[in-house]
Amino acid sequence: MAKTHQRVGHLYVISGPSGAGKGTVCKELLRTHDVHLSTSMTTRNPRPGEVDGIEYFFVSHEEFEEHIANGDMLEYAKVFDNYYGTPKDAVLRHLKRGRDVILEIDVQGGLQIKKKMPEEAILIFLLPPDLDTLYDRIVGRGTESKADIDRRFNEARNEIKLIGEYDYYVVNGVVADAANDIASIMNAESHRVPERVSELIKLYDE
Amino acid sequence: MAKTHQRVGHLYVISGPSGAGKGTVCKELLRTHDVHLSTSMTTRNPRPGEVDGIEYFFVSHEEFEEHIANGDMLEYAKVFDNYYGTPKDAVLRHLKRGRDVILEIDVQGGLQIKKKMPEEAILIFLLPPDLDTLYDRIVGRGTESKADIDRRFNEARNEIKLIGEYDYYVVNGVVADAANDIASIMNAESHRVPERVSELIKLYDE
């Protein structure tokens, strides 16, 4: 087959409001495609069944703040009393090896990544099919009070207004379709003519 | 399902040097995907089996020059004694209806389209897997003298140097794979967050 020019991986941010289905779609994408999903770090307690290093890296407040101070985090946020964030090291290591990396993070986190890595990051906004479905999905978790549900729903609607900052949007009606659309985007981006086109031309210049 | 905002079709230019396999890949793409392939116009004589309106619109020199004078052509070129070009009308009609249109044209034609429709046109460069394969494919046509073959081969190599003007590149080793890669690009482009994002946001704002 063809020689190919050396490539670094792409960094994909998949975000969207709660109820868009980020978690489900990313799980499906991992099942069907060879990508690396970054594991986030948090100070919240593990829920029953959650394993350190799988769902999250679970650390203490002190550790997290040390990572922030050391510049180890690509992005982070404090939600109520807990920190959530993306450790930089593993992400950069996979990218250097030419592997695509996915960050499944909230909209604010996505915008932090865009600011920090405008060249590398490709931002995908996951949308629910419509507002009724969004509401049903938030209710469907069944763990929250009416007030919490309404707060989440309003937050979601406000977050959707930030979609103009994103590169692509995918509507998550059917999970497998949404995962395929994201895979298409990743495949297309890997076929973009690179900035440094000379390496590509050299392959056809004896 | 979700309402979607009104969209116009995208205009895809698929070009590349002779020997890249434009014709074969476009045929495969048409077989497997719902796109409109624009029919070119030419003044050359139809070969045995070629039908007016299918392979080309076959017209006289006078007619072609009238079309040029009237501004009816999106792009055109004179190759030796004959004109080849893309009639504007049908292309714009399909785009307005929201249908994606493919132009299978040579590299110079692609650059004309880019200049004329920088907002609408998405340029895909089809590459052979390597120079040996390119040479074999040019020889494989079996209709040309050694001098013609060498001329085509050198032209092809020079055209590849223009790849930096293109948006995407696809290596055509296996035809079905190349057609799928192009389909991925088309799918990804249809998921781009539009310039006028307000129409999209409105769908989620009651």
Question: What ipTM does the predicted assembly reach?
Answer: 0.89
Is B184 within 8 Å of chain A by CB? yes
Facing B206 at nearest CB: one of A131, A170, A191? A131
pLDDT tens-place values along chain A, 206 residues long = 344 555 678 999 999 998 899 999 999 999 988 889 999 999 999 999 999 999 999 999 999 999 999 999 999 999 889 999 999 999 999 999 989 999 999 999 999 999 999 988 999 999 999 999 999 998 987 777 889 899 989 999 999 999 999 999 999 999 999 999 999 999 999 999 988 899 889 988 87
CA distance B118 to chain A (A): 16
**Alpha-carbon dihedral angle through residues B32, B37, B42, B47, given to the nearest 10 degrees:** 20
Among B9, B7, B15, B38, which Cα is nearest to B168's? B15
User: Which residues in chain A have their CB less than 8 angstroms from residue B130's CB?
Assistant: 2-3, 203-204
Contact across the interface for A131 and B168, Cβ inside 8 Å: no
- Give the tokens for residue B169: 């590149």
Classify A93 in phi/psi space as left (phi over 0), alpha (psi -120 to 50) or beta: alpha
> DSSP string of A124-185?
EEEE-SSHHHHHHHHHHT--S-HHHHHHHHHHHHHHHTTGGGSSEEEE-SSHHHHHHHHHHH
CA distance A146 to chain B (A): 20
Contact across the interface for B171 and A2, Cβ inside 8 Å: yes
